[in-house]
Amino acid sequence: MHIWAQSILRDSWQQDDSADVMETNMNTVFFKTVDLAYKEGMDVKTFMPELRAVLNCDELGELKDNAGFQYLIQAGYEHIGQVL
Long-range pairs for 14-20: beta carbons < 8 A, 24 or more residues apart: 14/68, 15/68, 15/71, 15/72
Domain that holds residue 40: 2-83
User: How many domains is the chain partitioned into structurally?
Assistant: 1
What pLDDT is stored for residue 19 in this prediction? Answer: 80
Q: What pLDDT is attached to residue 65?
A: 95
pTM for this structure?
A: 0.91
Rounded to the nearest 10 degrees, the angle between the axes of helix 29-39 and helix 67-83 is 10
77 pLDDT above the threshold of 80? yes
pLDDT higher than threshold 80 for residue 60: yes
The 10s digit of each residue's pLDDT in 8-50 is 999 999 887 778 999 999 999 999 999 999 999 999 999 999 9
